[in-house]
Amino acid sequence: MSPTPNTVRQTLPLGARLRTQRIAMGLSLADASKKCGVRQDYLGALERHDLSALPTIGYGLGYVRAYARALGLDTEQSVADFKRDSEVPFDLDRASMPHFVPKRRLRLPRGSIPALGVLAAVVMLSMWYGVQLDTVASSNPSVAVTFDPANIEAPTPVADNVLTVRTTAPSWISIRDSRGRLIVNRVFVTGETWQAETGQSFTLGVRDAGAVELWVGEANRGPLGAPGVPIRDMDLSIVR
């Protein structure tokens, strides 16, 4: 004779009651699965109250109703208990201990992980660009990049043997050394300059020739070309 619902203590969490009732009826999980039509692993998850092993809470409610009906338990009460237990999951091994504190699951708001990834990318890009404004990846001590927002009209006075590449509007600039190594490759803001001694073997590429000037010492040689016209591999060693 199968036990009645009164044989299961109502004070236990639902998962423990389901397991106790199944064992009292002499059923294995496989037997219970055939009886109620719910997968065996889902029934085990209900007994352990392992929400992560269920497709969704909505499916879980349907499984609870089918499982409770197959075991002869009150289906509506079982569903209500499942909802209650899902709010504050129980640690079934320690629920009777005097200092037991139910564990809450930490759930991030929907969309938090993609938003955090975008924020991290923005921070990394900002840090990279800030470093690039202050330094140049070159071992040549005669090469310098500067930016003086208070002196937009002309670069700081320099010696006659100093070549200055200066932007009058934002433009992408790339510079390679005599070995073809890329030492500058980024957008220069208005008024930013790159300098080296004249006669050195550097090649210059710009996206907007009209936004880039060449200076030798304090003499302005003018823009590299017409506005909006790109230039590739300009030999700076011939500029005197």
DSSP-assigned states of every residue in 45-90: HHHHT-GGGSS-HHHHHHHHHHHHHHHT--HHHHHHHHHHHHHS--
Single residue among 64, 87, 110 that ends a domain in this structure: 87
Domain holding 150, by residue range, is 127-238
Question: Residues 136, 226: one domain?
Answer: yes
Q: What is the rounded CA–CA span in Å between residue 92 and residue 97? A: 10
Q: How far apart are CA 57 and CA 79, in angstroms?
A: 11
What CATH number is attached to the domain comprising 68?
Answer: 1.10.260.40
- Better-predicted residue by pLDDT, 8 or 185: 185
Q: Does residue 183 lie within any of the structural domains?
A: yes
Which amino acid does the sequence have at 38?
A: V
Q: Specify the pLDDT at position 122.
A: 61
Inform me whether the pLDDT recorded for 153 exceeds 60. Answer: no
Burial of 110 (0-12, 13-18, 19+ CB in 10 A): exposed
What pLDDT, in 10s, does the model give residues 26-85?
999 999 999 999 999 999 999 998 888 888 777 888 899 999 999 999 999 989 888 887
On whether both 140 and 234 belong to a single domain, the answer is: yes
* Structural domain includes residue 93: no
Q: How far apart are CA 24 and CA 2, in angstroms?
A: 8
Q: State yes or no: pLDDT of 134 exceeds 60.
A: no
Residue 173's DSSP bridge partners are: 186, 206
Task: Give CA–CA dist 99/107, Å, rounded.
Answer: 25
In this prediction, residue 21 has a pLDDT band, given cuts at 50, 70 and 90, of very high
Query: Does residue 4 or residue 224 have the better pLDDT?
Result: 224
Q: Is residue 182 part of a domain?
A: yes
**What letter would DSSP give residue 98?**
T
Q: Is residue 60 part of a domain?
A: yes
**pTM of structure:** 0.39
* Tally of domains in the chain: 2
Do 187 and 220 touch, CB atoms closer than 8 A? no
Please indicate, yes or no, if residue 97 is contained in any of the structural domains.
no
Is the pLDDT confidence value at 156 over 60? yes
pLDDT tens-digit readout, 79-118: 988 888 776 444 434 444 444 444 455 555 666 566 677 6
